[in-house]
A = this chain, B = another copy of it.
Amino acid sequence: MVRPGGRSARVQASVHAAVRELESEVGREGLTVPLVAARAGVTPSTIYRRWGDLQELLSDVAIERLRPETAPEEKGDLRSDLEAWAEQFLEEMASPTGRAYIRDALLGDPDGSNAGQCSAYAAEQIDVILTRAADRGESAPDVEMVLDRVVGPVMYRILFRPDGLDAAYAHQLVTGLLGSTDG
C-alpha cells in the first residue's frame, strides 16, 4: 500500500503535517477528522479509510514524533553513554509533549503495533550503545536487560507514578544496572 514517493506517501505526509499544524493552532481538543482533511486537501473518507478514526491517526502521528532523530551521543565508555542516553530519554518522555505522545501512541493502537514500534526505537538506540561498548572491549549487559532495568521503570513511572522523574533517578537506574563505581 505504501509506495515511497507515491500518492499514499504524499497523503500520509500531508495528513500528518495537517495534524501538527492544527494542534498548535486549535489545540488537541479542537481536532476533528473533517478539519484535518480540509487542511490536508483530502476527503474525510480518505482519512477514515486509512486510519479508522482520529485516535488511530493521532497514534500514528505520535509514533512518527517519538522516532529518535539522531544516534545516541558517544561519550567514550558504557556508563557515560548509558547515563547520557537515559537522562535524555527520561527528559523527553516525561515532558508534557512526550507524555501526550505516549498516551496517543497507546490509545489509538488496537493491535499494539505502535506501542511495539515505540519499544523498538528504544531497543535500537540501546543496541547502538551496547555495540560500541563491545567494540571497545567493555563487558555489557544485553538489550533486554537494559529495557528491564532502565526503560521499563521510566515508562512505568511516567504512566502510573509520575513523581521524582529527574536526572538523578535516571542515573540511579544505570547505577543499579552496572553497579556502583565505588562499590
Residues of A whose CB lies within 8 Å of any CB of B are 103, 106-107, 112, 115-116, 118-119, 147-149, 151-157, 159-162, 173, 176
4 tightest A-B contacts by CB? Answer: A152-B156, A152-B153, A119-B160, A148-B153
Give 13 pairs: A residue, B residue, CB < 8 Å, sorted on A.
A103-B106, A106-B106, A119-B156, A147-B153, A148-B173, A149-B176, A152-B153, A152-B155, A152-B156, A153-B153, A155-B156, A155-B159, A155-B160
Interface centre among A112, A148, A155 (most CB of B within 10 A): A148
Complex interface: chain B residues within 8 A of A115 (CB): 159-161
Complex interface: chain B residues within 8 A of A160 (CB): 115-116, 118-119, 155
Residue of B nearest to A163 (CB): B116
Complex interface: chain B residues within 8 A of A149 (CB): 149, 153, 176
